[in-house]
Amino acid sequence: MKLLIALLCLALPMAACAADAPSALVEGRDYVLVEGGQPYRPLEGKVEVVEVFAYTCPHCADFQPAFGAWAARQPDDVRVTYVPAPFGPGETWARAFFVAEEEGALGRTHDALFRAVHDERLLAHNASAAELAWFYGQHGMDATRMKVRMLSPEVEAKVRHAREFALGIRLPGTPTLVVNGRYVITPSSHADALRIADALVAKLRAGRH
């Protein structure tokens, strides 16, 4: 009897560890592999995690606090990149995003814009370029310059690139996480998306070393 009790005491911690251990990733369940998929930007020795999002998407707004915190924890060799989905009315939002990115303003505007749309109701989903420029003007940017920059060839090229990337991965919706342009994460929840991202990043970092 004492031997049986001792064996049970050993088995219980091992069972608990097994329950806590992350399950292995399964292609087709946790992610879809994009044959020939390319990263959004050259990797330059990094692992790239892209979030394709839309400011008007309530799921993206719900995901942003957790994803923003996750992004802030990543090591230097992991590059987190936000890519706006530039389809329909989303193209205007994408243009505004790229101007803010060029100006180095995303740190003070990204979360604030989600709040402006979903909590404060300051901007409609079909907000115009002038309305978006007004919002960014409230956060330290030049509204007049922004409206001009939104129509620039440089921003047009970025919108086109974002659209090609989204079409290339067969974007299933927003938010979607994509690792190195090849792994499109297909989670069951926001928490599951970060679990899968962690596992893919760990796998790719280990492969480089």
pLDDT tens for residues 113-162? 999 999 999 999 999 999 999 999 999 999 999 999 999 999 999 999 99
183-185 and 47-53 beta bridge pairing: unpaired
Q: Which residue has the tokens 């707004």?
A: 61
pTM (2 d.p.): 0.88
d(CA 106, CA 89): 20
d(CA 30, CA 186): 5
Inter-residue contact 197 to 185 (CB < 8 Å) = yes
Rg (CA), the chain: 21
Inter-residue contact 96 to 133 (CB < 8 Å) = yes
Q: What percent of the chain has pLDDT over 90?
A: 87
d(CA 2, CA 169): 59
Neighbouring-strand partners of residue 32: 184
- Is 132 strand, coil or helix? helix
Alpha carbon 36 to its chain's center: 21
Kindly indicate the confidence band of residue 207, based on its pLDDT and cuts at 50, 70 and 90: confident
- Which pair of tokens denotes residue 143? 């509204």
Inter-residue contact 70 to 78 (CB < 8 Å) = no
Question: Domains in the chain, ordered, with CATH?
Answer: 26-204 (3.40.30.10)
